[in-house]
Structure 1
Amino acid sequence: MSRLKGKVALITGAGQGVGQGIAYALAAEGARIALVGRTAGKLDDTCAEIRRRGGEAHPFVCDVMLKEGIKHCVEQVVAHFDGVQVLVNNAQVVPLGRLLEVTDEAFMQGIDSGPLATMRMMRACYPHLCGDGSIVNCVSSAAVRWDASGYGHYAAVKEAIRALTRAAACEWGSTGIRVNAIAPHAMSPSMAGWVAEHPEEAAAFFETIPLGRVGDCEKDIGRAVAFLVSAEAGYLTGATVPLDGGQAYWG
């Protein structure tokens, strides 16, 4: 499988969970992977696995909450791979809790790591994506949950990313850049932790998924992203794709 052969994909939060699954799937399609994250050990492990499978990957340590860090990271990726054609914004600090509980500091971390980092990374990669580039931003169905209690700040952060995704798709379409968002449910470490801490809520949540299961980071989420950034999805932009087994109803 080589529909992404010759493409360089920069993926944030690539050391584990959804970002890692996307990295594996894109590498399997022939893309060369720039693994971006804060923890060198996790990036190295993911890089080693991609190479074991016959793919090409390189780790880049970066805190996406630092403006200069993003600029330097993109420069390093371009210098190493001689370009970048795919950007996946996955890294996110999650501000969960009720409105009277979440601190301003926690909310701002969600903004800094989410919509602000997403916008900065898109801007930094823009010159390299022009012509035939593709961006996928990770959002959430938290804003359309049956009960939004405890998810207000998280939903606000992710909805801001959705708005930026749509704007970028409209503003940059003429340059050949496609921009879409995915709203995944996947058994990432954070999801597994939530299930362990809130078993009753998790059980109720799973019952609302028509397909009856939570997605696999690589097979269900990663492979879908591989399609979205390929030429086969060349006429799709500005969309939010719910990779959630049919659970969310966007209206």
Structure 2
Amino acid sequence: MVEMKGKVALITGAGQGIGHGVARAMAQAGAKVMLAGRTYDKVALAAQAIVAEGGEAQALACDVCNAEQIDAAVEATCSAFGGIDILVNNAQQVPLGKLDDVTDEAFTAGFESGPLATFRLMKRVQPVMAARGGGTIFNFTSSAGIRWDMTGYGAYAAVKQATRALTRAAAAEWGRAGVRVLTIAPHGESPGLKGWIEHNPAEAEAFFRTIPLGRIGRLEEDIGRALVALCGTDLGYLTGATIPLDGGQANFD
């Protein structure tokens, strides 16, 4: 695994699921990790688990829909660890359902927690990274954005496709400062996905048949360690791309 000693990562939505898996993988590689989430007790327990495994981690409460809390999270991370080299924009509220059923409030919450929070965090962190000689930003999307049948996924797809556009723009504008920006499209064993499988067994069965590797990704081993590898110098020429970590299911070409 890539050596990350001396690197600092700020990870949103890190109390469980993919965010926690990424935090664990980065801590095991030697990075100092700041776990951010809306529920402090949850991220605090997650950070304690990492420390118990020998990693260096702290936790803070941050609702990514709140611009002031975003600023405070960046400042607290820089104060605790001296800067930020990696940003993982993982937190997201998901507006699922047919268009007639998705409320304005749910749609707005999807954009506030997704593209708008990503936009704010990237802009806040970019100068910190540039001052340290560069860094890596990971934004998250979903193959829902490229489904042939968008029924029930239109609002969610709109949110995630907006995030992909922001990644492309940030990669183009900040590359000369050494800041790389990548979009990740994962299938991970998160509580959200497990809940979806439980409530949609028939669709879930069909979903599994479309994954060439035949399984959902493991949070730390398949998703977290892939992000660690993407932070390494061997992949330092890669930016602006959407990278599927989904067992070969989606075609983003």
Q: Does 1:120 align with 2:126?
A: no
Q: How big is each residue's C-alpha offset from its partner over 1:201-226, in whole Å with a ceiling of 9 and x where there is no partner?
A: 00000100000001111111001111
Match for residue 187 of structure 2? 185
From 164, 170, 174, give the equivalent of 2:166: 164
Match for residue 25 of structure 1? 25
- 1:61-140 matches, within 5 Å, as 61-130=61-130, 131-140=133-142
3-state SS of paired residue (1:92): coil
Structure 2 spans left out of the alignment, 5+ residues: none
3-state SS of paired residue (2:239): coil
Is contact 1:135-1:229 (8 Å) kept?
no
Counterpart of 1:32, as a letter, is K
Structure 1 stretches (4+) deviating beyond 2 angstroms?
none
Match for residue 241 of structure 2? 239
3-state SS of paired residue (2:36): strand
Following TM superposition, by how much is the alpha carbon of 1:132 offset from its aligned partner in structure 2, in angstroms?
Answer: 2.1
3-state SS of paired residue (1:214): coil
Q: How big is each residue's C-alpha offset from its partner over 1:128-151, in whole Å with a ceiling of 9 and x where there is no partner?
A: 111221101111110112422101
State how far apart, in whole Å, the 2-side matches of 1:120 and 1:145 are.
28
Sequence identity (%): 57
State how far apart, in whole Å, the 1-side matches of 2:237 and 2:219 are.
25
| RMSD of equivalent CA atoms | 0.9
- 1:49-64 matches, within 5 Å, as 49-64=49-64
Is contact 1:2-1:28 (8 Å) kept?
no
State how far apart, in whole Å, the 2-side matches of 1:112 and 1:213 are.
31
**TM-score (norm. length: structure 1):** 0.98
Following TM superposition, by how much is the alpha carbon of 1:2 offset from its aligned partner in structure 2, in angstroms?
Answer: 5.9
State how far apart, in whole Å, the 2-side matches of 1:33 and 1:191 are.
25
State how far apart, in whole Å, the 2-side matches of 1:71 and 1:44 are.
19
Counterpart of 1:25, as a letter, is A
State how far apart, in whole Å, the 2-side matches of 1:30 and 1:147 are.
42
Number of residue pairs matched? 251
3-state SS of paired residue (2:9): strand
State how far apart, in whole Å, the 2-side matches of 1:126 and 1:99 are.
35
